[in-house]
Chain A
């Protein structure tokens, strides 16, 4: 990634379900330390885009480069599972509904990948996990199981789990959508703190005020395309595309 200033580079990405094109000609990039928000109505393709880049959906065309490693290249590129896994480790992903492992303790949820993927020894993995839990204000819950935690706590654990692998970019897929309104604040605060630490992040969100506050750049997606892109001021205060205006009026 030395000669590449972008952490994420996406060119002309296309994705379809059967005959339906759900992502059309998507191009954008993310620089180091940048916070990018992706907004748009349900079905606009914003989550699909995040999932495609995190290898949870197939990509039908275009180019995706993550930290200088090419994930896809107009489908001419064939990667082994090992190579794909290596590329995925540049990304961390926080899911909308957490997807913690219910049969593992909070601590184990975090150490599992450290031990089996990054091959850390158990003691070191535990130290890393505990310091991250401390940062999330959950050190005393290390021995608990996910079902014993509130939604906000679960989401903080899942952020810790993603951060443990030291990703170059952290992706959030509507991180507060599964939470009670009074719990969204604690997650937004964690993301804000990470932004202060210059963590590179891409946040798919419905929280407009939040997106405006923390983002360096905002992408508005509509019907599978990037309809508008710019600084929060440009997109929120002075949208050029009528679809963006229409969308933002609802908030």
Chain B
């Protein structure tokens, strides 16, 4: 059993790594994109819209392949597989997160900005202390959905040869003529998402101290 479990645990670690690094970079990137989408410069808005359209309009699997192979054809060099995967996830999820942030930001009453302004707050203070905390509460359900999808989407990294848990399971399954490894992989995703759901539930509860 250990000959199966050890490589699968290593694969799990890779999946978890993709997951965390994607969140680490895509969460702030999404906010930045959401703000840029409100830019008063037409060119910036146009660029951001095009970017979001491409990210949401093409398959993630294709984006993974593109990020991994395109630099090779253009610069004759490429990222290592794991980094390429993380970059692809970050730019893809950044676009989705941006739309979630945007929805949240738009749901905040403009009176909140006005109150900040008449009290002499800087724009940054109003955003980070008045608007953003309310946005977080607003977007938690949508974010929860997206983050759960990300856990499962990490399986796509196998397309460019990243040895995440699903790829390890598939290889083991073929070698041993057994479906057990695939089943174990399924349990991994399930546990991981149970944890993610719990975390989001907690956050939702924590922010329910006001309406």
Contacts and interface: CB of A to CB of B under 8 A. Distances in A.
Contacts of A85: 120, 122
A88 B120 contact: yes
A118 B123 CA distance: 16
A162 B119 CA distance: 7
A177 interface: no
Given A97-B111, A103-B133, 18 more contacts: A55-B118, A81-B122, A81-B123, A91-B118, A95-B111, A95-B114, A99-B111, A99-B115, A102-B210, A103-B134, A103-B137, A112-B121, A113-B121, A117-B120, A147-B210, A147-B211, A161-B119, A165-B119
Interface in B107-127: 109, 111-112, 114-115, 117-123, 125
15 contacts: A55-B118, A56-B117, A56-B118, A85-B122, A88-B117, A99-B109, A99-B115, A100-B115, A102-B134, A102-B211, A112-B119, A145-B210, A146-B210, A161-B119, A162-B118
Main secondary structure of the interface of B (DSSP, over half): helix
Interface string A105-117: 0000000110011
Nearest to A93: B118
A95 B115 contact: yes
A200 interface: no
Nearest to A116: B125
What is the size category of the interface that chain B forms with chain A?
A: 20 to 34
Interface string B117-147: 1111111010001100110010000000000
Nearest to A114: B119
Interface in B32-88: none
B209 interface: yes
Contacts of A117: 119-121
A177 B40 CA distance: 34
Nearest to B211: A147
A85 B122 CA distance: 8
Contacts of A95: 111, 114-115
A135 B109 CA distance: 29
Most chain B C-beta atoms within 10 Å of own C-beta, residue among A86, A99, A147: A99
Most chain B C-beta atoms within 10 Å of own C-beta, residue among A86, A116, A161: A116
Contacts of A147: 210-211
Interface string B196-211: 0000000000000111
Interface in A110-160: 112-113, 116-117, 145-147
A89 B122 CA distance: 12
Nearest to A86: B120
Contacts of B122: 81, 85
